[in-house]
Amino acid sequence: MPNSEAADEKQMHEALRVLNSYYTRLAREMSAEIVEERETFEAGSGSSAHVVIEKYAEQIRLLGSVYHLLKWKAPVMKKPEGLLPLAKTEFRCFSCGAAIKSDDAQCRICGWTWN
């Protein structure tokens, strides 16, 4: 693979990692706001619950569109071959196949998380 293609592939995967981090932050903000407005959501009174949903819905929709386009266009990363078996404190990343240590919050290679 020529250098420019390798650089493009690396850049696309880095963009996916950045978007994944942004999505995680956005989800945390949204969940905190929903918990703050718990009574409104539980009562079904609507107006402020609707404002919270509307505030995040467009961002999430647009982010999803961009993320999925990049994911679709990004070349599939080759899973590591010939690796030693995982240690008892490691598990395999579902996105890139790298080993994730049990104390890591996310994959060090691609940024994948359980969240």
Residue ranges for the chain with pLDDT beneath 70 = 1-3, 6, 45-46, 75-84
Contacts of 92 (CB under 8 A, 6+ apart): 86, 98, 99, 100
pLDDT tens-digit profile of 16-37? 889 988 999 999 999 999 999 8
pTM exceeding the 0.85 threshold for the entire prediction: no
Select from 112, 83, 87, 115 the least CA-distant residue to 102.
87
pLDDT, position 1:
46
- Classify 22 as helix, strand or coil: helix
State the distance between the two ends of the chain, measured CA to CA, in whole angstroms: 33
DSSP 82: S
Q: Where are the domains of the chain?
A: 3-73, 77-115
For residues 48 and 34, the answer to whether their CB atoms sit within 8 Å is no
What percentage of residues in the chain have a pLDDT greater than 70?
Answer: 86
